[in-house]
Amino acid sequence: MNEIRITRPDDWHVHLRDGAALAAVLPATARQFARAIVMPNLRPPITTAALAQAYRERILAALPEGANFTPLMTMYLTDNTPVEEIRRARDAGVVALKLYPAGATTNSDAGVSDIRKTYRTLEAMQREGLLLLVHGEVTDPEVDVFDREAVFIDRVMRPLRKDFPELKVVFEHITTLEAAQYVAESDRFTAATLTPQHLLYNRNAIFTGGLRPHYYCLPVLKREQHRLALIQAATSGSNKFFLGTDSAPHASVLKENSVCGAGCYTAMSALELYAEAFEAMGALDKLEGFASFHGPDFYGLPRNTDTVLLRQEKWSLPESVPFGEALIKPLRGGESLGWKFIG
């Protein structure tokens, strides 16, 4: 029997939501990961240190008995985030701010309309050592949906890196060859997270035998050449690439709808999905660095010291699970997986 034991991983990008939804999805993340970077795109968004602190308390209160899990809090950067809020954020243990271009994705209406409006705040972040996490897509309606990440690199990322060379920036959930190359060639202040769905699937998955809403997330899946570039980056051993599931739960009724919300729910089988992607490349030996070392090293946090076991064993993910009053369908729900997280 094939087994691998790795240092316990962390999830460097997850959506835990709030209320009944939080209670429904948090146990899955806390079962596999020691820590997670919690996205701030609630309604209303987490825009202040006080809101982040209160959200952390709600997460801790929703944890199952005996869970050993630390939420790492983020704040939502807006055109108006006051410079003074950065010091308060640091004192409250907030580790990063998230840049959503206004209108780019789920609950991003409060996002940044022009990055130059945030420059004084970014300066304070660079000074205080807070990271900037970037949803890297332009929202210009003239730009094709599949090109929005590549265009973002030239229009926003390059000028930003030039103006704030020592601000640590994570290019979140990258989906293209262009982004993988950009990050690989950048200096030690730039890194990227990679989701399981972008390592396993290309855009055909959204259209196989009909429209498949559970494969729709943002940034949207791209062509096979891009998937190949991403899995090569993830398995290269480069410390600039690390695990961030972007597990983004939406009730099934809102996915299987005339307007389908963006997001794949992967928390229930996150490590299994990554193991499948790494195994297909013959690179299971690179999984630990990607899942457990590169993230904390980039964030300047200690690595975890306990371990988890993954076993090669066929099992079936439930078709759907309760999500408050509703149901949620995990990515690959009702299908079998070849790896199993043992714990």
Footprint of ligand NCD on this chain (CB under 6 A)?
15, 41, 105-106, 135, 217-218, 246, 248, 262-263
C-alpha 25/C-alpha 328 separation (Å) is 10
Closer of 148 and 340 to ligand NCD (Cβ): 148
Residue 91 among the catalytic residues? no
Work out what residue 262 binds among Zn ion, ligand NCD, none; the CB cut-off runs from 5 to 8 Å by kind. ligand NCD
CA–CA distances in Å: residue 213 to residues 112, 220, 252: 27, 11, 9
Work out what residue 218 binds among ligand NCD, Zn ion, none; the CB cut-off runs from 5 to 8 Å by kind. ligand NCD
Output the smallest distance, CB 113 to ligand NCD, in A.
17
Closer of 10 and 246 to Zn ion (Cβ): 246
Output the smallest distance, CB 166 to Zn ion, in A.
25
Output the smallest distance, CB 262 to Zn ion, in A.
9
Closer of 99 and 287 to Zn ion (Cβ): 99
Residues with Cβ within 8 Å of residue 314, at least 6 apart in sequence: 336, 337, 338
Work out what residue 281 binds among ligand NCD, Zn ion, none; the CB cut-off runs from 5 to 8 Å by kind. none
- Active-site residue identified among 18, 154, 246, 306: 246
DSSP H or E segment with residue 71 = strand 70-76
From the list 288, 267, 235, the residue with the least C-alpha distance to 331 is: 267
Helices (H), 130-171: 148-152, 158-163
From the list 305, 306, 299, 304, the residue with the least C-alpha distance to 93 is: 299
Output the smallest distance, CB 153 to ligand NCD, in A.
17
**Are 16 and 55 within 8 A, CB to CB?**
no
C-alpha 80/C-alpha 64 separation (Å) is 36
Closer of 47 and 126 to Zn ion (Cβ): 47
What does the binding site for Zn ion look like in residue numbers (CB under 5 A)? Answer: 246
Work out what residue 217 binds among ligand NCD, Zn ion, none; the CB cut-off runs from 5 to 8 Å by kind. ligand NCD
Active site residues: 246
